[in-house]
Structures are given as structure tokens and as C-alpha cells.
């Protein structure tokens, strides 16, 4: 079993080798296998990337995410600009059904809502917007509602009654 110091070193090494991240922006502390990530990064996607890298380390029991997203001056966008980029990203993504997913942007935080049939569509909507410039966070409130066609239901009932 790894010690907290070993886990901390492994997480720091993992973050250091990711070319997308600036290792100096992220602090790592560990207590009883619980890793706390802190600091400030300039994009929400970097925050997610740091969390994903930490999940890869053996011995990590839980992650306390305390990384703040402070968009850099070159990445500052208005909510209107972000909303337009989100609308375009959703519109052009092939897995996301037109008009089924909507978004609201407030202070750089994107909230997705609507209803889709498949989990892959829900996750695709989040993935389409998470890396957009200016996005500070993404709240995915999209629900999944399977739509069963009458002929499919009839076929399933017929199959079950055989």
C-alpha cells in the first residue's frame, strides 16, 4: 500500500508529464489517500485534465477538487460570445440531435439542458463545449429519455410471450 507521500509524488509526476497542463499552477496534497488538487488554471478543460490525470494514479481513494478557473486575459469572452460558440458547437456535432439540447451561459458557466435518447448524446454535448474558450464550468442537466416505438414494443411483447 502506498504512503500519502508516494501518492503525492506520483500525482505530481503525472501532472508534470502532461503537456497540456502547467504543473506550476496546480498544488497537490494527500491525506489518507484523498488527493486535494488546488491552484488556478486558465481553462475549465485544464481543470478536468488535472482531475483525469489524478484518477490514473494507483492508491488514490478520492479527489477533492479545489482548482479555480481564472480565464486568462487573452481568453476572456463575454457570455454572449460563449453562448454563440456553444450553440455552434452543439449545432455542428453529429451525435447531438438538432433542437434537443439548449444552453444557458452565466459568468462563463455553461448549463446544458434538454432531453436526448442516449447517454452518448448527453456526453457528446458536454464534450462539445467543455474545451471552448472562456468556459469556466459545464453543468450537464440533459436528461435521457428513451423513446420506444410502438412497433418495437409490440415486437418485444411478442418475443416475451413465446
| Domain CATH for 134 | 3.30.1340
- Does position 16 have pLDDT exceeding 70, yes or no? yes
Same domain, 45 and 66: yes
- Alpha carbons 15 and 26: distance in angstroms, whole number: 8
Percentage of the chain lying above the pLDDT 70 cut: 96
Domain that holds residue 104: 75-144
- Does position 117 have pLDDT exceeding 80, yes or no? yes
- Alpha carbons 16 and 26: distance in angstroms, whole number: 10
CATH number assigned to the domain comprising residue 8: 3.30.1340.30
**Count of domains for the chain:** 2
Q: What is the pLDDT of residue 35?
A: 97
Same domain, 103 and 58: no
Residue at 162 is within a domain = no
Percentage of the chain lying above the pLDDT 90 cut: 72
Q: Which carries the bigger pLDDT value, residue 73 or residue 5?
A: 5
Q: Which carries the bigger pLDDT value, residue 106 or residue 154?
A: 106
Whole-number average pLDDT of the chain: 91
Take residue 152 and report the three cell numbers written for it: 418495437
Residue at 150 is within a domain = no
Same domain, 29 and 66: yes
- Alpha carbons 150 and 134: distance in angstroms, whole number: 44
- Averaged pLDDT for residues 42-68: 94
- Alpha carbons 85 and 122: distance in angstroms, whole number: 18
Residue at 157 is within a domain = no
Last residue of a domain, one of 16, 44, 70: 70
- Does position 162 have pLDDT exceeding 70, yes or no? no
Same domain, 18 and 33: yes
Residue at 153 is within a domain = no
**pLDDT class for 98, splitting at 50, 70, 90?**
confident
Residue at 152 is within a domain = no
- Alpha carbons 65 and 26: distance in angstroms, whole number: 11
Residue at 10 is within a domain = yes
Same domain, 28 and 50: yes
- Does position 1 have pLDDT exceeding 90, yes or no? no
pTM higher than the cut 0.75:
no
Same domain, 105 and 137: yes
Residue at 161 is within a domain = no
Same domain, 80 and 65: no
Residue at 102 is within a domain = yes
Q: Which carries the bigger pLDDT value, residue 77 or residue 29?
A: 29
Phi-psi region of 77 (alpha: psi -120 to 50; beta: other; left: phi over 0): beta
Q: Which carries the bigger pLDDT value, residue 155 or residue 130?
A: 130
Amino acid at each position: 500500500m502506498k504512503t500519502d507521500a508516494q501518492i503525492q509524488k506520483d500525482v505530481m509526476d503525472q501532472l508534470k508529464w502532461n503537456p497540456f497542463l502547467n504543473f506550476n499552477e496546480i498544488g497537490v496534497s494527500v491525506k489518507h489517500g484523498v488527493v486535494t488538487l488546488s491552484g488556478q488554471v486558465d481553462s475549465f478543460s485544464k481543470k478536468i485534465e488535472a482531475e483525469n490525470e489524478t484518477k490514473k494514479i494507483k492508491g488514490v481513494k478520492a479527489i477533492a477538487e479545489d482548482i479555480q478557473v481564472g480565464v486568462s486575459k487573452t481568453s476572456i469572452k463575454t457570455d454572449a460570445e460563449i453562448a454563440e460558440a456553444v450553440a455552434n458547437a452543439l449545432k455542428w456535432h453529429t451525435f447531438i440531435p438538432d433542437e434537443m439540447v439548449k444552453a444557458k451561459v452565466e459568468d462563463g458557466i455553461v448549463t446544458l439542458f434538454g432531453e436526448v435518447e442516449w447517454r452518448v448524446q448527453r456526453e457528446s454535448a458536454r464534450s462539445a463545449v467543455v474545451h471552448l474558450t472562456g468556459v469556466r464550468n459545464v453543468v450537464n442537466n440533459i436528461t435521457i429519455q428513451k423513446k420506444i416505438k410502438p412497433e418495437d414494443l409490440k415486437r418485444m411483447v411478442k418475443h416475451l410471450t413465446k
